[in-house]
Structure formats: structure tokens, C-alpha cells
Structure 1
């Protein structure tokens, strides 16, 4: 009898600690600024070797997304609600606006939603399968249900714990992209002066 009671209590404890998508969204919402390193590996159909790139990423809820590729060549992308700037090396930035390229900004909106686990945006664009993998780990498999996403991707898979650790993109051309994040930093919780300047364009 004692063993049965123990097992029942263990099951209740496990159920109570299971991670949900709402938990992930609340956790991400409590992170106004996230800084991390990234490594991206892209396997293109027909190519023997994957393409590797790496750098730094900054996600600020109040500003947007700053993505700086450092290897194999320098490139910076800055995304906010109405602009996207791409800077190659020391060249002048190329700026695209939401008015001039609305499809690009649909992807911009989506990308920020992925990093912030924005439930509303995800539910509007995907069917989802969320799995608690134990020890605070989770996985979210997204299947596009809106155009043009359903014409480009078969699935987008997110994995993480209190941070987003991995994004895997399976596209309909047979290509596969994996982005892993490490060395997450939440402090300082506000952008520094130098970081604010990254969004001034």
C-alpha cells in the first residue's frame, strides 16, 4: 500500500511540474533582453557539405532583433517593426521597409514570434505539437497552415528550456537549417547605450 501511495504521489508531482507552452511564453515574456551566441548549419539539397556560420544575436522586446554573423564573413541584420537593415562588412546599410516589402515583414514578425514564443502569432500561422521532454526541456513542432509559409516550410521545430536553444527548419525543397544558441545572457535587463545604437538606422 505504501508503494502505491508513493507512486501516486510521484505521478502527481511529475504532472504538476510538466512544462506547457503557456509556461514557455510566460518565461520568455519575462526576458526583456536576451543576448546569445549562435551557430547555423545549413544543408542544401545536392551539396555534399553543409554551410556553417556563427555570430551573436540580441533580442530586445522593445526594439527588435539584431543578428550579427561574424563567420565566415561579417554581415549584420537588424529587424524592427517597420524596417530591416542589412549591412555587409563596412558597406552602407541596405534598408527595406514594411511598405516596400510586406512579405519580408511577415517573416520578420514570425521570426520575432519564434524567439518570444508569441502564442497568438504562432496559433495564427501554424498547427503545433508541444512536448514536455522532462527536466525543464521542451520541444515545439510547428506545421505551417498559412501562405506563403506552407509553400516554403514543412516544419519548424523549436527546442529549449528557460531559453530558446535550437531552431530546425525543414523546407519543401529538401534543405535543412539548424540554428543553435548558447551563452544566453539576460543582464543587464535594459539595453546598454551601445546596444541601443545598433537599432538606430
Structure 2
């Protein structure tokens, strides 16, 4: 059985030297232990799937534009994103010191990098949510901030067929994802 979560996101990037944030919104889909599909719809259309072994970029019509092998830093960032979305503390604890607070059915985590290679890129990450991550704030080592809010979350036990190709390691081949 595959765990599949989808919803909407709103993202703001606050970059040093800029007066206004860069705002993006769209949809996302997360397939446990496989990857995350990020589909920006505003201010422009762009779809990217982040898998452990590659990054897939999609054309607006849903056909594959490019498949790239991530470099070491991209793999590390992808691993962190997957761990954040899945709540995989064991992976996060290898890279960060974690401070956790809970109030009723709400939780919050503050992650501070414990490894030098991560400290070069990130200052800290704040996460909060209930059943799933609803808010992420990433502060880069340079002071830039990215804030992502998730809503309209739905959970499925299996991957809907129309998402299959987006999570295939060989998207040019017919989609044949296995169910666990």
C-alpha cells in the first residue's frame, strides 16, 4: 500500500536586498518513500518531481521535459525535503538538532543543522502542523527565508492513476508502479 498525500501550497521567498517576497502557489503530491511532485501554477506554470535518484521536469502538457541526476547537495536537500514531509525523524536527527513542542493536537519542530555541510546552506527550519506538516519556514545561511503553507490536504492509501507517471523512475516507459 502506498501512502499518498496531496494538497495546495503557498510559498513566499524573502530574499535579502528585495523589498517584496517572491510568491508562488500551486499543488503538491507526496508519495511515501518515492518522491514529491511540486506543481507551481502562479506566477508561472512549472512542474518538478523530486525523486531520490533524479529530478524530473515536466512540460505544461504533462510530458517529460528533462530528467537529471542530482548532485550531492541536491540529493541531500531532496532527502531532507522527503524527511520533512514524511516526518522521518531518524533521517532528520542525523542532520539536525531537533527541538519539539506540543500543544493539544498541534506540534512544532525547530531544526538546527548539526553537520557542517548542511550549516553552509541552512540556518534553521521551523515546521508545524497537526496530522501533517502545515507550515514550513526555512532560513538559509545567508538569511533568506522561504515560508511554505499547505492546505486542502487529502490522504489516499494508494497512488491515483493520473499521478503514476510523475513518480516513475522511467517516465518514458508505461507506468507500472507497484503497490506495497
Q: Which residue of 1 aligns with 2:166?
A: 198
* Bigger Rg over Cα: 1
1:35-46 equivalences under 5 Å are 35-46=6-17
Whole-Å Cα distance in 1 between the matches of residues 14 and 51 of structure 2?
A: 28
State whether residues 31 and 186 of structure 1, in contact with CA within 8 Å, keep that contact through their aligned partners in structure 2.
no
Unaligned runs of 5+ in 1: 1-29
1:6-45 equivalences under 5 Å are 32-45=3-16
State whether residues 38 and 49 of structure 2, in contact with CA within 8 Å, keep that contact through their aligned partners in structure 1.
yes
State whether residues 114 and 122 of structure 1, in contact with CA within 8 Å, keep that contact through their aligned partners in structure 2.
yes
1:62-73 equivalences under 5 Å are 62-73=33-44
SS at match of 2:77: helix
Report the CA distance between 1:199 and its aligned residue: 2.0
Unaligned runs of 5+ in 2: 172-180
Whole-Å Cα distance in 2 between the matches of residues 147 and 108 of structure 1?
A: 17
TM-score (norm. length: structure 1)? 0.78
Q: CA offsets per residue over residues 95-118 of structure 1, 9 Å max, x none?
A: 2115xx222111111110010111
Q: CA offsets per residue over residues 60-118 of structure 1, 9 Å max, x none?
A: 115311110111001111122211112354585222115xx222111111110010111
Q: Which residue of 1 aligns with 2:125?
A: 156
Q: Which residue of 2 aligns with 1:171?
A: 140
More helix by share: 1
Q: CA offsets per residue over residues 150-186 of structure 1, 9 Å max, x none?
A: 0111110110011110000111212111000000001
Indicate yes or no: 2:42 matched with 1:81: no
| Equivalent position to 2:73, from 100, 103, 114 | 103
Root mean square deviation, CA, Å: 1.9
Q: Structure 1 residues 118, 147: CA separation in 2 closer, same or farther (over 3 Å shift)?
A: same
State whether residues 2 and 159 of structure 2, in contact with CA within 8 Å, keep that contact through their aligned partners in structure 1.
no
Indicate yes or no: 2:118 matched with 1:146: no
More strand by share: 2
Q: Which residue of 1 aligns with 2:176?
A: none
TM-score (norm. length: structure 2)? 0.87
